[in-house]
Structure formats: structure tokens, C-alpha cells
Amino acid sequence: MNFAQLPSVDVTAVPDDALVLDVREDDEWAAGHAEGALHVPMSEFVARFGEVTEAVADGRRAYVMCRVGGRSAQVTQYLVQQGIDAVNVDGGMQVWEAAGRKVVDLHGAPGTVV
């Protein structure tokens, strides 16, 4: 098998209006996530794949994130294999938060990355 270089970007390169795909689990999402992100936990990814294909139907790039980058790298690789324009966000939500990007909880209040 030949695996191409996994496409990835720094959090500072993620546009404000980007489609951020958060693949962390429900408890992680509830504590804090990127505002406006699409939440599809990795554990439910195959069953909910239609939500992702619908979100990128207009050709949008998916910026995939987890806590530090491991799970999102796996999901990004899967999406790319399906012909979807997806990139892994280096460092995940930990770097997102450290870079001063907005993190909110379930109620839209300031959140935290767990």
C-alpha cells in the first residue's frame, strides 16, 4: 500500500468561515469546541458519514480536528481516500486554544479543551 503525505495545516491557516470537523467524543465536545464546528465523533464516523458528505457537497474543504491530531489524522486519511478535500489541523484543539482561537461549550459560553 502506498500512503500519500497526509495533508495538514497549522491552526493559524484555518479560515474563520472554514468547515471545521471535530471528531472528538461527546464529553470532549461538550467541554469546548471551535465555534460553528461540525461534530461527528470518530466512534460514530462511518455511521454518520452522510453528514460529512452533505457538509462538503459544495466542494468545501474539511478541516479535521481532535484533541492533539491523532484521531483527526486517521479521519483525514479516510476522507482523502473517499475523494474529499480534507486536511488535518496540526496539534488539534490544544493548539487551537493556545493560539487564541475561540472555544465554546454547549451553551456558547467560553469553553475549555479537555
At position 25, the amino acid (one-letter code) is: E
Q: Beta partners for 34?
A: 103
71 catalytic per annotation = no
CB proximity list for 42: less than 8 A, separation 6 or greater = 23, 24, 25, 66, 71, 74, 75
Other beta carbons within 10 Å of 99: 12
Please give the Cα distance from 26 to 43 (Å, whole number): 10
| Annotated active-site residue in 18, 19, 66, 113 | 66
Residue numbers annotated as active site: 66
